[in-house]
Structure 1
Amino acid sequence: MDLDAYVAEHGGEWRRLEELSGRGRLDADEIDELVALYQRAATQLSVLRSRSPDPALVGQLSQVVLRARARLTGRPRPSWAAVGRFLLAGFPGAVHRAWPWWCGVATGFSLLTFFLIWFVAGNPDTASAFIGEEAAVDLVESGFAGYYTEFTAPTFAFHLWTHNAWLAAQCLASGVLIVPVGWLLWQNALNIGVVGGVMVSYGRADVFFGLITPHGLLELTGVFVAAGVGLRTGWAWIAPSAGLSRGQAVARAGRDGILVAVGLVGLFAVSAVIEAFVTPAPVPVPLRVGLGAAVWLAFLAYVLLLGRRAPRSPADPR
C-alpha cells in the first residue's frame, strides 16, 4: 500500500470532516456532507488499521472519526427526567426484583444474631472468651453508649456512611462468588450477637436495643439488600434463566446490582444521619425508636410499592 498516495487522495476529505465536526451550527447540506464523510472515513480507517504500519496516522484519523461520531450521535446529558426514572422505577424495581433474596438474607441473619445473643447471654464465659472480662465490663458501663458520642455528629455520620457503603459494595461485588457474602454477613452477625449478648447478660438489654434499633432497622436492611442482590447475581451464574448464557445472565443481573449500589448510597446517608444525630439524642427511647421505625417503613413501602410497578427484568433468575 502506497501510504503517501493514500493520504494525498483522502487527506482533503479528512480535513473537511474535522472542520465540520468542530463547527457550531450546520445546515442540512452540511449535515449530509458530514454523514457521508464520516462513513467514508470510518471505512478508510479500517483499511489503514489492517494495512498501514504507521500508528501515528491511524491514531490521528481515529480521533477525527471519533469527533465526527460524537457530533452525529450527540453527547448524553444528565437530566431531571433520568433522575426521576431512577428514583421512581430503576432503583425500587431492582430492589423489588430481588426481594426473595434479601428477605431470605434478613431472615437468616436475624435468626442467627438472636441465637448468638441468647447463647452469649446464657453463657457468660463465652463472652469472656470473645472479648475478655474487663472489656465486657467496660462495654456495659460506658463503651457501648460512648461509641455513639465519641466523635462529633457530622464526622461520625460521614464515617458511618462510607463504612456501610463500602460493606454494601463488597457484598454486591463478591456476590458472584457467594462465599465472601456469607463471610461478611457472619462477621456482622457475630459482632452484634456478642455485643448484644454481653449487654443482656449484664441486665442492659434496654440500653442495647434502645440504641441499636433507631438506625439499625434501616442500616441493616441496606446491608440485606446488597447481600441479596449480590447473591442473586451469583445464582444467575449457577442457574441462568432459560435462553441466556451464564455471561448474559450475570451481566443483566449485574446491571440491577449497579442500580442498587447507587441507590444504597442515599439509604446509608439517611441511616448515618439517624445514627449520628438521633440515636444518641437525649430524648425518650420510644421517640427515637419510633422515628427510626417510621423511616424504615417508609423505605420498605417505597421499594415494594413502586418496585412492583417497575418493568420486570429478564435478568430475574426466579
Structure 2
Amino acid sequence: MDVQRWIARREIQWQELEALLKRLETKGLKSLKADEIALLASLYRSVSADLARAKTNQLGETIIQQLQTLTSRSYSQIYQGSRKQEWRAVLSFYLWGFPSVVYESRVYIAIATMLFMVGALIAWWFSWRDPSFLALVVPERLISLVRDRGELWMGSILGSEPLASSGIAINNMTVCFRTVAGGITGGLLTAYFLFFNGILLGAIGALVQQNGLAYPFWAFVFPHGALELPAIFLAGAAGLLIAKALLFPAPYRRIDAFKIYGNQAAQLMFGVVPLLLIAGAIEGFISPNPAIPAPFKYLGGTLLLCGLLAYFRNRPSSL
C-alpha cells in the first residue's frame, strides 16, 4: 500500500468533513443545507472506513489520531442532533399532539366514560336497595373493616410509600393496557373492564356512604383520581378505536383501518402512561397522608382535574 498516495487521495474528503463539522459546531444544524447533511453522513461513513484501514495497516499514530478525532466529532454531531430531534418530537407531542389526539378521540372517550359511569350508578343504586349486593362486588375483608370497625383501608400504605406508589402505578397500567387489548375482542372486554371498574367504585362509594366514611374516602380518591380516572377513560377510548378498526373499518380496508386507528390508540396510550405514573405517586405519598387535611386534598384534586382539562384544550385552533 502506497501510504502517501492513499493519504493524498483521501485527504480531500477529510478536509471537507472538517469544514462541515466546524460550521455545524459553531453555527448549528440550521447552517447546513439538506444535501450537506446527507454529505456529512456519507463522509462520516467514509472516514470511519479510513480509520479502520489506517489501524489495520498501522499507518502511524498521527494519521490514526486525526481520523479518530474526525469520526468522534462526526458521531457526536450526527447522533446528538438525532437525539435532540427526538426530544423535540417528544416535547411537541406532549405540548400539542396529545391534546389533539384526545380531541379527535372525544366520541370514544365519551362512550368509555359513559360505560364506567353507568356501571357506577347501577352499583350505587343496587347497594342501597339490596345490601347483599355489596358482597357480590366488594371483598368481605373491606366490608368488615368499614362496617364493623368503622375504618378505611388506606392506612396500610403508610410506611411503604415508595413501594406502594410503584405497585399502584404498575397495577393501573396493567388495567389500562388490558382495557386497550380488549379492543381486539370487538370491544367486548374493553366495555367489560370499564363497566366492572365503574361497578366497583360505585359499590365502594355506597359502602362508605352507608357507614359515614364518605368524606375521608373521597378525600383520599380526589387527589389521584383526578388523573387516574381520565387515564382509564382514555385507555377505554383506545380499546374502542381498535374495536372500530376490527368491526367497522369502512371507508378503509381493514388492514389500513388498523394502521390508522391503531396509531391513534397508541398515541392515546403514550399520554396515559405519564398520567398513571403521576397518579401512582400521588396515591402513594399524598392521598393516604393523614398530615394533609382533607380540604386540601379535595382542593388539590379539583385543581389537578381543572388543569388536565385546560391542558386538553391546548391544541391547534384549526382542530
What is the TM-score of this pair, normalised by structure 1? 0.68
Match of 1:201 in 2: 210
Mapped pair 1:111 → 2:118: yes
Mapped pair 1:77 → 2:67: no
Per-residue deviation, 1:247: 1.0
Q: Spell out the pairing of 1:78-93 with structure 2 (5 A cutoff).
A: 78-79=83-84, 80-93=87-100
Answer yes or no: is the 8 Å Cα contact 2:137–2:200 preserved in 1.
Answer: no
Per-residue deviation, 1:104: 2.1
Change (3 A) 1:292 1:190: same
Answer yes or no: is the 8 Å Cα contact 2:113–2:233 preserved in 1.
Answer: yes
Match of 1:270 in 2: 278
Match of 1:291 in 2: 300
Per-residue deviation, 1:106: 1.1
Per-residue deviation, 1:268: 0.7
Moved more, 134-143 or 166-175: 134-143
Match of 2:131 in 1: 124
Paired amino acid for 1:305: N
Answer yes or no: is the 8 Å Cα contact 1:234–1:250 preserved in 2.
Answer: no
Deviations 1:158-178 (A, max 9, x none): 111111112212222332321
Match of 1:229 in 2: 238
Mapped pair 1:149 → 2:157: yes
Seq. identity, %: 21
Per-residue deviation, 1:25: 8.7
Answer yes or no: is the 8 Å Cα contact 1:112–1:189 preserved in 2.
Answer: yes
Answer yes or no: is the 8 Å Cα contact 1:91–1:263 preserved in 2.
Answer: yes
Change (3 A) 1:250 1:146: same
Determine which of 166, 184, 197 is the counterpart of 2:174. Answer: 166
Q: Partners in 1 of 2:15 and 2:171 — Cα distance? A: 49
Deviations 1:201-235 (A, max 9, x none): 22322232222222212101100001112202211
Q: Partners in 2 of 1:111 and 1:83 — Cα distance? A: 36
Paired amino acid for 1:289: Y
Answer yes or no: is the 8 Å Cα contact 2:124–2:203 preserved in 1.
Answer: yes
Task: Indicate the structure whose relative CO is greater, using CA pairs within 8 Å and at least 6 residues apart.
Answer: 1
Unpaired segments ≥5 residues, structure 2: 1-9, 18-38, 47-74
Deviations 1:64-103 (A, max 9, x none): xxxxxxx9xx879332311222112332222221111112
Change (3 A) 1:172 1:308: farther
Q: Partners in 1 of 2:318 and 2:281 — Cα distance? A: 30
Aligned residues: CA RMSD: 3.1
Per-residue deviation, 1:191: 2.0
Answer yes or no: is the 8 Å Cα contact 2:158–2:288 preserved in 1.
Answer: no
Answer yes or no: is the 8 Å Cα contact 2:224–2:287 preserved in 1.
Answer: yes
Answer yes or no: is the 8 Å Cα contact 2:155–2:288 preserved in 1.
Answer: no
Answer yes or no: is the 8 Å Cα contact 1:92–1:307 preserved in 2.
Answer: no
Match of 2:265 in 1: 257
Per-residue deviation, 1:190: 2.6
Answer yes or no: is the 8 Å Cα contact 2:138–2:204 preserved in 1.
Answer: no
Paired amino acid for 1:88: L
Moved more, 231-240 or 145-154: 145-154
Answer yes or no: is the 8 Å Cα contact 1:95–1:307 preserved in 2.
Answer: no
Paired amino acid for 2:91: G
Q: Partners in 2 of 1:124 and 1:189 — Cα distance? A: 18
Q: Partners in 2 of 1:145 and 1:118 — Cα distance? A: 23
Q: Partners in 2 of 1:272 and 1:232 — Cα distance? A: 26
Q: Partners in 2 of 1:256 and 1:270 — Cα distance? A: 22
Deviations 1:107-156 (A, max 9, x none): 33123203312321332222245557675231343663435635522211
Q: Partners in 1 of 2:139 and 2:246 — Cα distance? A: 43
Secondary structure of 2:314's aligned partner: helix
Match of 1:246 in 2: 254
Per-residue deviation, 1:280: 1.7
Paired amino acid for 1:240: P
Q: Partners in 2 of 1:284 and 1:229 — Cα distance? A: 36
